[in-house]
Homo-oligomer: A and B are copies of this chain.
């Protein structure tokens, strides 16, 4: 994870529409969704949906595969974890005690399926 890749990912997620798309695909899991279903689910015009899907894909947050005339998109969860790792790298260097109370809740994913309050 380098700085350029990280800024690309953040820029991608800085749009409400793209954030909706990404979270929809995280929720959809490994099966992903085809472009038309995404557009329908979020009530977006197809060309605008395509625009945002392209942005997310170029940032690496989504992967796309062709299925006949459909285009299936999936969230790249692994890249997300790398981004998080990049952000928190060298956290409190030399002073682990000082931020030990953070109790990072991230690993809730796939441990509990309840949404956090």
Binding site for B on A (CB under 8 A): 3-4, 6-7, 10-11, 13-16, 19-20, 22-23, 26-27, 29-30, 77-78, 80-82, 84-85, 87-96, 98-100, 102, 104-111, 113, 115-116
Chain copies in the assembled complex: 2
The answer to whether B7 and A15 have CB atoms under 8 Å apart is yes
Docked Cα-Cα span, A87 to B108, in Å, equals: 11
- Other-chain residue from B78, B87, B110 in contact with A26 (beta carbon distance below 8 A): B87
Docked Cα-Cα span, A26 to B88, in Å, equals: 7
Docked Cα-Cα span, A77 to B98, in Å, equals: 12
Report chain B residues within 8 Å CB of A78.
102
Report chain B residues within 8 Å CB of A10.
10-11, 13-14, 19
Report chain B residues within 8 Å CB of A105.
81-82, 84-85
